[in-house]
Amino acid sequence: MTTDTSISSLINLEYIPYISGNGQLPEQFQGKIGVYAIFNQEKVLQFVGYSRDVYISLKQHLVRQPQNCYWVKIATIERPNRTVLENLEKSWIAENGSVPLGNGDDKEKWTQPIDAKAIMTPEEKANYENPIHDEITQIKIIKNVARRVEAEILAAIEARGLQMQIRFNPKLKEEGLLDLK
């Protein structure tokens, strides 16, 4: 971690475990403005982003991409400055030598709510598309799909040792979307 914006080299920053030994995300970044780089288990860069609250963003990414969030490198700044943050993000991507999937083809998977409709089982899809179902029945079906996906995500991150409460926005489930509250 650094607060000096002139130190922009990704390679000089230390790897921080995404989930600590006591099952928490890096709490020292709550409310901190900064740029972060997320790495998979093999320390291959997956995504570079910036945020007004790095901690909340890390939590969001963990839920969206639990299989790709094992290590993180972070540089914080004191005052919000989009230009500084964007330049640091671009610099880290350039330093990597290639655009990480999370900043390229898979960007939506990292930055948008999870669309449970896109991962319906064939049975769920057939039930949802059944012409005899009215809109209320379809909402119930999609809500149940969202609950199933939510349970799978929670099981995956709990298996990784996460000990914190994760709450999804209940209103979005009716649309088949999962995002943190």
Is the overall model pTM greater than 0.75, yes or no? Answer: yes
| Angle, helix 54-64 to helix 135-159, in steps of 10 degrees | 110
Each residue of 51-77: pLDDT tens digit?
999 999 999 999 999 999 999 999 999
Residue spans of the domains in the chain: they are 10-111, 114-178
Taking only the tens place, the pLDDT of each residue in 116-175 is 999 999 999 999 999 898 999 999 999 999 999 999 999 999 999 999 999 999 999 999
User: What Rg, from alpha-carbon coordinates, does the chain have?
Assistant: 18
* pLDDT tens column, 82-114: 999 999 999 999 999 999 999 999 999 999 999
Nearest one of 130, 129, 172 to 150, comparing CA atoms: 172
- Looking at domain 10-111, its CATH superfamily turns out to be GIY-YIG endonuclease (3.40.1440.10)
| pLDDT for position 44 | 98
End-to-end CA distance of the chain: 27
Residues 6+ apart with CB under 8 A from 116: 142, 145, 146, 148, 149, 173, 176, 177, 178
Condensed to tens digits (0 to 9), the pLDDT of residues 16-53 reads 999 999 999 999 999 999 999 999 999 999 999 999 99
The pLDDT score that the predictor gives to residue 3 is 45
